[in-house]
A and B are shown apart, each in its own frame.
Chain A
Amino acid sequence: MQVALFITCFNDTLFPQTGRAVVELLERLGHRVTFPEEQTCCGQMHVNSGYEHEAARLLRRFERVFADADAIVSPSASCVGLVRERIPAVADRTFELTELLVDRLGVVDVGASFPHRVTLHPTCHSLRMLHVGERPRRLLEAVRGIELVELEQATECCGFGGTFAVKNAETSMAMLSDKLRHVLDTRAEVCTAADSSCLMHIGGALRRQRAGMRTMHIAEILAAQE
């Protein structure tokens, strides 16, 4: 099938490897990916920060840019959550990556190979806005060579929360400290998730601590053929 990629401004600018992984993965599975280059930002940051007026323009823009797409895929649960909630015209056609793979494309084994010890942080918006449930875990379990380890208190927020991480930096850090402790306790080599924003938060602290653990978006693991 043909799928339009909604990369998100965040991945586009800071984590292009996530987008490349989505493209490689979907093409490997025999699908055609398009990238509407007029896309910018869905408006999530403005909505969640209370700037409704500014957000409204971005939401309208998103609807216009993706008007012709049959299916839209995004490697960001939180941006998909916003699009579903705020842009009814495209809500039914917009999928988070693991939803698209499992529900629309009907694959669990995507032919990936990643012989590393990995732990999954199920992000708040994938769990509680999109209700993706076990989809990310099922996809990871089918990856060759992977050693998936349980994360304690996995469903608890990492403390990112968009501007929350800056506005309430100290509270955010307290939440992150506990998340980090659980992540490090897994002794995994990689911490993965379906949102680059949470991974930027966790990964930024791992790098600050020289913890020797890296973060990877789930798309990168599913695209891997090591």
Chain B
Amino acid sequence: MSFQAAAHATLRDAQLRRNLGHATERIRDKRAGAVAELPDWEQLRDAAEAIKARTLATLPEQLERLERAVSAAGGIVHWARDAAEANAIVADVARAHGSDEVIKVKSLLTDEIGLNEALAAQGISAIETDLAELIVQLGDDTQSHILVPAIHRNRVEIRELFERTIAAGRRLDGDAKTLADAARAHLRAKFLSVPVAVSGANFAIAETGAICVVESEGNGRMCLTLPKALVTVMGIEKLLPSWRDLEVFLQLLPRSSTAERMNPYTSLWTGVRAGDGPQEFHLVLLDGGRTDVLGDEVGRAALHCIRCSACLNVCPVYERVGGAAYESVYPGPIGAILTPQLRGLDQAPTLPWASSLCGACYEVCPVKIDIPTILVHLRGRVVREQKSGLSVEGLAMRAMATAFSTRRRYEGAQRLARLGRGPIANAAVPGWSAMRELPEPPKATFREWWRRRGAPGVGA
């Protein structure tokens, strides 16, 4: 579906608009406060951008360093070309442990590759343990935010959902604690019984082989420590060359993401350790279209993303259409540049236009991804690679360019525009008039006034 068609549906949902507007406005203000506390915020952004660019420039070498370090610490490294290969590796681990269930730490990557559905097809249930992911999973719903997947749901909707599902018909009070307790009781049993956990990774350190997951609820810590086996699936762009790089990102991520100085739980582990935590650790390194993105000199900066979701929270388009309109686990501005690149431009050709280019995303991005520039670049690629030169838009654009190519043609087009005809007038009208009137054509253009005025400087 095109972005326009998807947005057409979501824009009608008044409850969604209310929930999302309320939530994003609150988190926007909180983020601004948390960021303002750090005098060196801009230097941190510069450092993060430089580290990410250096990592991608030396990616093959860094990945091999990571593989060596993880293997030396007792982990097993797998390489997956695409979603199917990655999903098969996870299913194999679950089967090897004789389990028809796995517990999951919140992970966008596993959503990107459709892990839950792939496991279900093999008779294995993937149980989401992050509260918001659980809400989405129980409601057979779609995530609408990177960090807060159920941001489009309010407390009343969640109470009704829990009463229908995990609370098994019990009536619940609508307060946050009661709802959290219901989820907790449901999840605790899973943490203690399921032998295999699956996680993504926020960072992986090539130098030491350490993997890092940051979270707020502690469900991640449970998954990362209690089961017998742990499988971490990560995109190849997620690694950092050295341990000291991590401090930059651990300052940027929580403040950008939840507007906290530090997130409540930061888990770091290196391979396996006898008698402590999972005794079997698998690391799946997934390409999934990323090397293609690397081939685009402008677009590749999208791979710098640390999934903080600050760009969603400030985006005026996202705030109104909601995450579902982007039809991807990566919604909002970052989704508009990431999804078409990961899936291929022909799979999401309208997403680069899902922006007014207002620049709010670039302003808050902790790793300084110039999203507006990449959007414009991808529009150029879509026009060159996808569109027939004979499209209505293509013809109009060429007609406009011709009209602007000489003074004589331009002034002729201005005269036509005053009559409501010709390339300048035609470019503006469709879609505009539903809500807005066109300006009254002025009696004279500026240049006509200028010539008549005969002021000093004419013809300069």
Contacts and interface: CB of A to CB of B under 8 A. Distances in A.
Nearest to A20: B449
Contact of A45 (B320, B383, B400, B446): B400
Contacts of A183: none
A2 B460 CA distance: 11
A16 B359 contact: no
Nearest to A199: B439
B435 A40 contact: no
Given A14-B439, A40-B410, A49 B379 contact: yes
Contact of B401 (A58, A125, A156, A162): A58
B354 A168 contact: yes
A93 B325 CA distance: 42
B460 A4 contact: yes
B382 interface: yes
Interface in B383-406: 383-384, 393-394, 397-398, 400-401, 403-406
B98 interface: no
Nearest to B414: A13
B405 A7 contact: no
A175 B316 CA distance: 7
Contact of B7 (A52, A161, A171, A208): A171
Contacts of A12: 414, 445-447
Interface residues of B, number: 71
Contact of B356 (A36, A129, A160, A208): A160
A169 B432 contact: yes
Interface string A108-136: 00000000000000001101110000000
B297 interface: no
B359 A129 contact: yes
Nearest to B383: A50
Interface string A181-222: 000000000000000000011011101100000000000000
A141 interface: no
B275 interface: no
A124 B401 CA distance: 25
A198 to B, nearest CB: 10
Q: 3 closest A-B pairs (Cβ-Cβ)? A: A161-B356, A50-B379, A204-B436
Interface string A25-61: 0010000111111101101011111111011011001
Interface string B344-366: 00000000111111111011000
A199 B150 CA distance: 36
A213 to B, nearest CB: 14
Interface string B413-456: 01001000000100110111011111101101111111100011
Contacts of A9: 404, 410, 424
A35 B431 contact: no
A33 B460 CA distance: 9
A13 B376 contact: no
A204 B432 CA distance: 9
A49 B358 CA distance: 14
A52 B359 CA distance: 20
Interface of B: 3-4, 7-8, 11, 17, 316-317, 320-321, 352-360, 362-363, 376, 378-384, 393-394, 397-398, 400-401, 403-407, 410, 414, 417, 424, 427-428, 430-432, 434-439, 441-442, 444-451, 455-460
Contacts of B394: 51
A207 B437 contact: yes
B439 A200 contact: yes
A148 interface: no
A174 B404 contact: no
Given A36-B460, A50-B381, A165-B436, 6 more contacts: A16-B442, A23-B455, A40-B410, A58-B404, A169-B434, A204-B432
A161 B436 contact: no
Between B321, B356, B383, B407, the greatest number of chain A beta carbons within 10 A of the residue's beta carbon is seen for B356
A16 B11 contact: no
7 contacts: A7-B446, A41-B410, A49-B397, A57-B405, A165-B356, A175-B317, A175-B356
A124 B358 CA distance: 5
Nearest to B363: A128
B430 A20 contact: no
B456 to A, nearest CB: 6
Nearest to A55: B401
A173 interface: yes
A50 B350 CA distance: 12
Given A45-B400, A48-B376, A204-B437, A172 B456 contact: no
A181 to B, nearest CB: 12
Contact of B456 (A18, A32, A37, A127): A32
